[in-house]
Chain A
């Protein structure tokens, strides 16, 4: 038998008083771990989004607020498709490509899916009025829509290019492109027929996984989606690929002037808002953490004081049998240490699970455990538990051993 056994045995035999303190510590660590975890991954995703974005300017109905670039067309608000024509005809300098989108919910094989209508580039070419527009012959869909690194035109001709360039050359009226997740769910391959809105569609491509919300979508011709869903000639968003320099300069005011009834947002703005939200979350998580740890500290201190009072006679006996003040102090600080470690581990596990569960549903991001948070959680929980138990432990060590005789 050692000090360690004494501590474990006491906690094991009388766990209830420690439970509230343990829960408080666990909650504090859990809040921190969950929020930090989500924030860190969300930041990671913004960074990778920045790299993979095909469009860098969005034109949306005015009442829409935008948090997530990939959900830019999921707000349900619409504006006339005619805006696309207006933008195309305006021939604004710096505009490389226009990609209008309309999203509707539908079911395939009794599964809910998001069907996104897109306009292939040959539609623009059909309209003679648009012939000769720079955007149709220029390189489009380069990495960030920046003119400095134009992509080759060949890449645009396969349906799979949609995944990277967000545009496509041709798309028939009853043709369908599937995101990787939805393809897997429906067990659909190229050449398979799927029934949407009572019409048979032919799957012409399955996109490679991108790690974005696009993976769970289906893409069809904009006009088919408009007709079949009964939405009429409207779109949710117009994605514009513009030269970075232009997007940063006059283009936004030019676009706003051209389409005063819309909201024009640059990706930079979207990213900024999201980064700001993340920063706020991150700071808030520390506030939560601090508050919960304070609550935990108060709870631990009061439970420890009660524990010392309750165990007066036991402590006196130990002292009579030769326990030093150091031993008695360790007895209580050891218990605090146990509490901190258990709270830290429990909080990390609970927080990580929470983040893994909430990450995808709240923010659409995949989250995995972050070891550094484990370290932070366990260290701070232990420090708080020890600090809160310091005075009770000292009181225990300062007890008069003579009380063993009197406290009959």
Chain B
């Protein structure tokens, strides 16, 4: 699915050069569930941005299903993200003045799904994450765990093949963490490819394999069994 070839991302700030990704080559097959681990500042988020088509690397080639991701125009990449990639964030990133249902509708709104269909699918997805009774609540009226579940429902709105998650459990307590991870596992079992950045060993154990980043260089860790 993803094919990265000698991808490097360097930042120059006040004369200092930072290699966020250093000659990184990586293959992520379809329906993989991979955890990216590594110390802070090792380039995990940078890698995720590159995979999400949001950050054109300084050098190297990123292919998605044989198509050069950064050969596409900005608009084409936005549309690709909208249709094929779902995001989960550490801080959930729900729009605070929209209800749970409306938040789930956003990706569908962006791809101009008819209003009625948007609503029906949003309700269906919220039901799937166990929030059928919270559809008209705004994020501030929801617990952290509930907010992350709304975000997980939003991820599925356009039925993407890929889910990119940056510390999806970083802001959750152990109980809700488990709940969120079980949903991600379900999404993986649906046939989706999941790339997840995490600090947490326990969270990483939900993945099929782990890649450790050290100073922008990826390193395959011993395979774990899919928990």
Contacts and interface: CB of A to CB of B under 8 A. Distances in A.
Interface string A1-32: 11100100110011000000000000000000
Contact of B79 (A2, A13, A324, A408): A324
B78 A6 contact: no
The DSSP consensus for interface residues of chain A is: helix
Given A9-B98, A321-B110, A322-B82, A402 B49 contact: yes
Q: How large is the interface on B (under 10, 10 to 19, 20 to 34, 35 or more residues)?
A: 35 or more
Contacts of B190: none
A322 B107 contact: yes
A315 B33 CA distance: 28
Given A317-B93, A404-B93, A324 B75 contact: yes
B54 A319 contact: yes
Nearest to B89: A404
B218 to A, nearest CB: 18
A322 B74 contact: no
B109 interface: yes
Given A405-B45, A405-B48, A405-B89, A324 B74 contact: yes
A1 B45 contact: no
A325 B74 contact: yes
A317 B78 contact: no
Among A313, A326, A401, the most chain B Cβ lie within 10 Å of the Cβ of A401
A324 B110 CA distance: 9
Among A314, A317, A405, the most chain B Cβ lie within 10 Å of the Cβ of A405
Nearest to A10: B97
B64 interface: no
B95 A1 contact: no
A314 B95 contact: yes
A6 B109 contact: yes
Given A321-B82, A324-B74, A2 B87 contact: no
Interface string B89-128: 1110101111000100111111100010010000000000
A298 interface: no
Contacts of B216: none
Contacts of B83: 322
B81 interface: yes
A267 interface: no
Contacts of B108: 1
B55 interface: yes
Interface in A253-305: none
A402 B110 CA distance: 19
A322 B89 contact: no
A387 interface: no
23 contacts: A1-B102, A14-B97, A313-B93, A314-B93, A317-B89, A320-B54, A320-B93, A321-B110, A322-B78, A322-B82, A322-B110, A322-B158, A323-B78, A323-B110, A324-B74, A324-B78, A326-B75, A327-B110, A401-B52, A401-B54, A402-B49, A402-B54, A402-B55
Interface of B: 45, 48-49, 52, 54-55, 74-75, 78-83, 87, 89-91, 93, 95-98, 102, 105-111, 115, 118, 154, 158, 166
